Amino acid sequence: MCELLLILVTLCGWLFAGIIERAVGSMEEDMGRPRSSPSLAGGDFALSDAFYFYKKGLESIVDDEVTQRFSSEELASWNLLTRTNQNFHYISLRLTIIWGLGVFVRYCILLPLRVTLAVIGISWLVIGTTLVGFLSDSSVKNWLSELVHLTCYRICARALSATIRYHNRENKPRKGGICVANHTAPIDVVILANDGCYAMVGQVHGGLMGVIQRSMVRSCPHVWFERSEMKDRHTVTSRLRAHVAAKTKLPILIFPEGTCINNTSVMMFKKGSFEVGATISPVAIKYDPRFGDAFWNSSKYNIVSYLLRTMTSWAVVVNVWYLPPMSLQQDGEDAAQFANKVKSAIARQGGLLDLAWDGGLKRGKVKDTLREEQQRMYSSIVLGPIGTDVPQTCGEKASEQ
């Protein structure tokens, strides 16, 4: 009872403080200490076993480190954008007047100019790539395709009032390789393509994004696929291998997270692009949230709404770091370990949190295999090392009865 009261008091303190200080230890360490006593050595369930799960459940309710990565980054102070923090709508009359002037400037002056530039850039991209697509494959077609893409992306960057700082340009991705980067928004492509052309790999979209994708693929061998089709994934892998085998083709740009994360973290990299065997050029992208929210919450806004919200921000200020190329080691390193190594390097350079969670949780539930793994871990803690003479679990006893 004392242990239960202590845990409840601690959790209430967390709730009122609004802060969760997470323990670094694992389940074995957290649950192993109470079971160090002879009475809880193993084989039987104890009430204290539930405390670990209570604590973790309440931690997730108060401060879930996964789902909060799929909402806009919260700032500590107001930046004159009302969507930044609901608590900073009204601070003083002076700031309210400044905010009103800012609204006039952003919506009545900057927005019309930015929309005009965006329409010009997107129209030229669709028209230019379509016209280039009628040419036969040659060096002239490749040169024209790169010229059209660079021109359009740079016009679109002006439409976003993008201020981009590129670091370590000597590490820029080269032809015949793969460029991987953390993913915050569709404008990541515009940011990176301002400094060089890439062949894109990504999910098929509808609407305006779909029109752009279909026109781009006519002039450059981009790879678009359906997220839900596993057969298509195998086709993508084979096409990636064929692409990187030709050392004269543009480097492939891939966002291995598979979804947009809110500029604070890097989540699990899918291992598919790391199985190809090509040289990987990591790139870290970090937006400055003080000037605008670059994150695209695709479950809440369509692409047009997102672009309008971005164009009504003050600016898009971003740093891009080109990291040294990395290759799969021959000392037994597999694709998953290689992907984690690249992810850690990107997170470290960009000042982002390195999370092991799958970004697919944005759209789906936790896999049954992960839950079963936690259940097996708990069972091994309760029963001790699994051997030939292991006590029966409650479920096994019930099934026999």
pLDDT at 276: 84
Q: In what order do the strands lie in the sheet with 316-322?
A: 162-167, 316-322, 280-287, 178-181, 252-254, 199-203, 223-225
How does 307-332 read in b/e, with b if 16+ C-beta sit within 10 Å? bebbbbbbebbbbbbbbebbebeeee
**CA dist., res. 186 & res. 161, Å (int):** 15
Q: How many helices (H) and strands (E) does the chain have?
A: 13, 9
pLDDT at 81: 77
**CA dist., res. 268 & res. 336, Å (int):** 10
Which among 117, 84, 116 has a CA at the least distance from the CA of 313?
84
pLDDT at 391: 45
Cα 18 from chain centre:
26
**CA dist., res. 269 & res. 273, Å (int):** 9
Residues 255/245, Cβ–Cβ less than 8 Å: no
For the chain, list residues with pLDDT below 70: 1-46, 60-64, 82-91, 227-233, 364, 366, 383-401
Beta bridge partners of 200: 253
Specify the DSSP class assigned to residue 283: E
Size of the chain, expressed as the number of residues it contains:
401
Residues 193/107, Cβ–Cβ less than 8 Å: no
Let me know if 67 is exposed, middle or buried by CB neighbors in 10 A (0-12, 13-18, 19+).
exposed
What does the block give as tokens for 104?
A: 């006039």
pLDDT at 389: 46
Residue appearing with tokens 């993508």: 236
Residues 120/136, Cβ–Cβ less than 8 Å: no
Specify the DSSP class assigned to residue 326: B
| pLDDT tens readout for residues 104-121 | 999 999 999 999 999 999
Which among 268, 237, 235 has a CA at the least distance from the CA of 69?
268
Residues 313/293, Cβ–Cβ less than 8 Å: yes
Q: Where are the alpha helices (DSSP H) in 182-258?
A: 187-193, 207-219, 230-245
Beta bridge partners of 318: 164, 287
The whole model's pTM is what?
0.76
Which among 249, 160, 119 has a CA at the least distance from the CA of 241?
249
What does the block give as tokens for 364?
A: 């789906």
How does 17-34 read in b/e, with b if 16+ C-beta sit within 10 Å? eeebeeeeeeeeeebeeb
pLDDT at 240: 82
Which residues lie closer than 8 Å to 29 by C-beta, 6 or more apart? none
| pLDDT tens readout for residues 14-51 | 444 444 455 556 666 666 555 555 555 555 666 777 77
Pairing of strands 252-254, 178-181: parallel
Residue appearing with tokens 């790879």: 223
Residues 215/149, Cβ–Cβ less than 8 Å: no
